[in-house]
Structure 1
Amino acid sequence: MTKYNWGMIGTGWIAHEMADALNAVNGEIYGVSDMNAEQMAKFAAEKKIQHQFKNPTDMINDPNIDVIYIATPHTYHYQYIKEALNAGKNFFCEKAITVNAEQFDEVQKLAADRHLILTEGFTLLHMPLYKQVKQLIADGKIGQVKLVQVNFGSLKDYDPKNRFFNKELAGGALLDIGGYATAFARSFLAKQPTNILTTVKYFETGVDEQSGIILKNDDEQMAVMALSMRAKQPKRGVISGTKGYVEISNYPRATEADITYTADAHTQTTDKIVAGDDTKALQYEVADMQKYIDNGHDDGQLALSRDVAHILNDVRNDWGMKYPFE
């Protein structure tokens, strides 16, 4: 695998984990940028990063940079993705990659036109377990997939000033955690959903606090999702078919899948798949990203992200919820 020069924008908690993954897989990190010079210096020293840039644009334009990674609030992603792609840099973006489908379509086209790799940080798309689960389903072991159920409940501290609840920063459950649930659902539906039923409860700041979402596609497959930012739920996904079902716990970084085979209404047998290491979730992301750059194409990740972005956009349109900057 080729070694690449990565530049990191943002030094929040997920950036710490990504820096460790980059050092483990790539062996080094070229640069970091953060408007807080003191925080950036501390981060750079801790993660052994070679160069510091107070202005992200300066780092993006450094000719030695190959890949830009961003871990900032959603509202900054679109701007820096465009800057980086126009500067000839590949881009790895924490979810949500953009705040709406219009932005997504623009950066997807720009990446294609520039022959660059653009990837969204959905860990579940890179965990080794999912290749085995998808192969099991492709082999017809659980029959025809009929229904996908998926939950994500995060209990955020009550703090109306936190970015999670800030409408100016595209806060709310849908963009913060809904992408994971939607990516899981879309991964096991044969086609993009065409029908959406949804309802929402708003937080006092006007962002979505929790919601229920039902998706259906033209094959009559359905997905049922429940999201919340003020009530903890197990991160659990179930794929149900005519011959059985697969249960996956902690699905964003899953390492185990329990399979129940239902040959008929009265007989059940069980099996289990174990694969991967949840402590290496971001290392899998880094390794895949560098493989995509080596190969000059991804494995369909951006196309799936496109479907997710459009589903999330359609859900918000159904609610009639817009962010102030849209």
Structure 2
Amino acid sequence: MENLNRSVESRPLRWGILSTGTIAEKFVSEAVGLKNHRVQAVASRSIEKARGFAGKFGIERAWGTYQELFDDPDVDVIYVGTPHVFHYENTLAALTAGKSVLCEKPLTINAFQARSLFQTARRNNVYLMEALWTFFLPAWKKVQGWLAQERIGKVRLLQAELGFSTAFDPNSRLFDPELGGGALLDLGVYAVSAAQQVVGNPPEALDARARLSPSGVDMSTVMTAVYPGGILAQLSCSLEQLTENALVIYGEKGKITVPHFWMADEATLQSQTGDDFFRDDRKTLGYAYEALAVEADLTEGRKENLLVSGDFSVALAETLDRARKLTGVVYPGEK
């Protein structure tokens, strides 16, 4: 396989897009404007959809099968944006073909699959990252800086909630167990991953309760967790209730508040050591930052990201598995 260690003077990083859905559109709309990046090809099971997507974004190649994208010699990295129940098979096929992959969150529907993907990536010496874009945003970088400087002292408590009001629809992906539906994997992944990023480890103890939909997936899930060092967390997600949608990190000297933390554009520090405020005036959602992180990793010869490593993603998937076991949500392929 061609060595993807790159210098900034080398040819552009060539992306292949697997999916023509909404999340893929959001990613590509920002990736096409990045210097030293090129969206080279897109694939769909429908050649008409692939051609329509390619025309919309000025993409050179449209493929009517995923295998054609995997076999394209002019694609360096594949962005997987399919529904998350398909992430495992799509990403496994891309890695097996020798392609590096940025796969949307959640990486897989369970930890067994997540471990398998990173084992495959390491065996094939190719790059793999879960697209947890939150942690590459400027506001999150600022929060990480405040924590590293101990501006609020030792962290004692976290609260993270993310919820929207959505009417139950048995035909929607969100409520379909065959597609890995439910609040936890769609929204809760942000709250759980944020807590894991702040603390640096998964929880030592976890309790979870959920209200299930008629289809058997969770409409809302509430988790209470105890992390190393006795740090406590309250984490919640909902498809049926609009919530405060914020992350609050409490420390012995103050607190950090991040509104809309999964797509953060601001953060507030209130502390005995002095208050601070950060606002990011970007005009986009911010998906470009994860694409730049992939470029930086490949340029520097890394096969995994330092913030969202294989160990991080597997630990995150294990926590989500623990929560689902407690709430009784089981997907058809797991029975």
Please report the TM-score for the alignment, with normalisation by the length of structure 1: 0.94
Contact 1:128 1:276 in 2 (8 A): no
Structure 1 regions of 5+ residues with no counterpart? 264-268
Structure 2 counterpart of 1:266 = none
Structure 2 counterpart of 1:245 = 255
2:326 is aligned with 1:321: no
Contact 1:148 1:185 in 2 (8 A): yes
Among residues 107, 119, 135, which one is paired with 1:125 in the alignment? 135
By how many angstroms is 1:280 displaced?
4.8
By how many angstroms is 1:148 displaced?
0.8
Structure 1 counterpart of 2:81 = 71
How far, CA to CA, are the matches of 1:228 and 1:321 in structure 2?
15
2:159 is aligned with 1:149: yes
2:220 is aligned with 1:210: yes
How far, CA to CA, are the matches of 1:312 and 1:42 in structure 2?
36
Match runs of 1:272-283 below 5 Å = 272-275=277-280, 277=282, 279-283=284-288
How far, CA to CA, are the matches of 2:101 and 2:74 in structure 1?
14
Contact 2:156 2:232 in 1 (8 A): yes
Contact 2:14 2:37 in 1 (8 A): no
2:304 is aligned with 1:294: no
By how many angstroms is 1:132 displaced?
2.2
Query: Cα deviations across residues 190-238 of structure 1 (Å, max 9, x unaligned)?
Result: 4321100110100111111101101112311111111100111232001
Count of residue pairs the alignment pairs up: 321
Query: Cα deviations across residues 10-35 of structure 1 (Å, max 9, x unaligned)?
Result: 11111111111121114531111112
Q: Which amino acid aligns with 1:299?
A: L
RMSD: 1.6
**Secondary structure of 2:211's match?**
strand
**Secondary structure of 1:11's match?**
coil
Structure 2 counterpart of 1:6 = 15
**Identical pairs, percent:** 28
Please report the TM-score for the alignment, with normalisation by the length of structure 2: 0.91
Query: Cα deviations across residues 83-110 of structure 1 (Å, max 9, x unaligned)?
Result: 1111111101111110000000111122
Contact 1:154 1:232 in 2 (8 A): yes
Match runs of 1:133-172 below 5 Å = 133-172=143-182
Report the more deviating stretch, 233-242 or 149-158: 149-158
Among residues 6, 21, 28, which one is paired with 2:30 in the alignment? 21
Among residues 184, 189, 199, which one is paired with 1:179 in the alignment? 189
**Secondary structure of 1:230's match?**
coil
How far, CA to CA, are the matches of 1:248 and 1:300 in structure 2?
19
Report the more deviating stretch, 202-211 or 157-166: 157-166
Q: Which amino acid aligns with 1:88?
A: G
Runs of 4+ aligned structure 1 residues displaced above 3 Å come to: none
Contact 1:115 1:296 in 2 (8 A): no
By how many angstroms is 1:270 displaced?
3.0
Q: Which amino acid aligns with 1:202?
A: L
